[in-house]
């Protein structure tokens, strides 16, 4: 069996003196979608930062496709196929749409024109606004632009951090349609989301984090029950 796309083993990490993650282990098998759920401050984003090299764990190790990557710089991890779409808008507001797409070519096997072609084919609206400054796009359009990087960088593991944040439901479902499509193409995805139901609908495995620890791991259906009963009071 192939090595998992991403594996965290016994990770302890934090910011300065404050420890945020306590002995976190999780494994995203190759070609699957893994949803990481949990309340604010549970350590989900920190887990993402550890996986993409921004926060160095104080204990434990990070493996990407079977390779130990604890001390690799973020930009080199990005080139090696770890693609993180950050919380908020992962775009350069003072560059045009085209120039943003050109930045993606640092970690993409495709040329600039191929990158444009693929992005505009998926998100026609970006094509209409190709010479506009990215900062002047609507929130949804900005997130589409950010997601284009996932589309063109052929990632070994895709890390999506709350892509639905602050967006209209219609756009969220459009974005999750893309996530589903990427999963179908066999891309491994680690997904952090507050809307448990939306995330569970596209995932193969799921885990719930709380207080910097993994509280439960399992099939989406089991996790959904656990989440509804114990943590979100059935609101999700």
The residues that touch other proteins, with contacts defined as CB under 8 A, are 16-20, 40-41, 52, 54, 73-75, 78-79, 83-84, 86, 90-95, 99-100, 102-107, 112, 149, 153, 211-212
**CB-CB contact of 94 with 129 (8 Å):** no
DSSP string for 91-121:
S-TTSBHHHHHHHHGGG-SS-HHHHHHHHHH
Q: Tell me the residue ranges of DSSP E strands in the chain.
A: 6-15, 18-28, 33-37, 59-64, 67-68, 82-85, 157-161, 188-192, 205-210, 213-218
134 versus 183: smaller Cβ distance to other proteins = 134
What is the H or E stretch that residue 203 is in?
A: none
133 DSSP assignment? B
100 versus 203: smaller Cβ distance to other proteins = 100
CB of 46 to other proteins, least distance (A): 10
**CB-CB contact of 190 with 36 (8 Å):** yes
CB of 103 to other proteins, least distance (A): 5
CB of 93 to other proteins, least distance (A): 6
CB of 146 to other proteins, least distance (A): 9
101 versus 207: smaller Cβ distance to other proteins = 101
98 versus 198: smaller Cβ distance to other proteins = 98
First to last CA, the chain: 35
134 versus 200: smaller Cβ distance to other proteins = 134
CB of 220 to other proteins, least distance (A): 27
4 DSSP assignment? P
Q: Which two tokens stand for residue 163?
A: 């892509």
CB of 145 to other proteins, least distance (A): 12
91 versus 175: smaller Cβ distance to other proteins = 91
């Amino acid at each position: 069996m192939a090595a998992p796309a991403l594996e965290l083993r016994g990770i302890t990490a934090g910011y300065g003196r404050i420890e945020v993650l306590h002995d976190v282990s999780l494994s995203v098998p190759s070609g699957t979608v893994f949803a990481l759920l949990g309340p604010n401050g549970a350590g989900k984003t920190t887990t993402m930062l550890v996986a993409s090299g921004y926060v160095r764990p104080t204990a434990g190790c990070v493996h990407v496709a079977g390779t130990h990557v604890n001390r690799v710089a973020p930009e080199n991890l990005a080139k090696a196929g770890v693609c993180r779409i950050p919380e908020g808008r992962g775009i350069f507001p003072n560059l045009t749409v085209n120039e943003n797409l050109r930045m993606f070519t640092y970690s993409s096997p495709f040329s600039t024109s191929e990158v444009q072609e693929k992005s505009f084919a998926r998100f026609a609206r970006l094509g209409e606004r190709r010479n506009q400054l990215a900062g002047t796009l609507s929130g949804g359009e900005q997130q589409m632009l950010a997601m284009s990087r996932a589309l063109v960088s052929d990632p070994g593991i895709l890390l999506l951090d709350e892509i639905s944040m602050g967006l209209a439901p219609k756009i969220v479902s459009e974005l999750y349609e893309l996530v589903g499509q990427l999963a179908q193409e066999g891309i491994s995805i680690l997904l952090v989301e507050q809307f448990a139901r939306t995330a569970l609908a596209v995932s193969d495995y799921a885990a719930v984090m709380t207080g910097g620890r993994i509280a439960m791991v399992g099939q989406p259906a089991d996790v959904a029950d656990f989440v509804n009963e114990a943590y979100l009071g059935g609101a999700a």
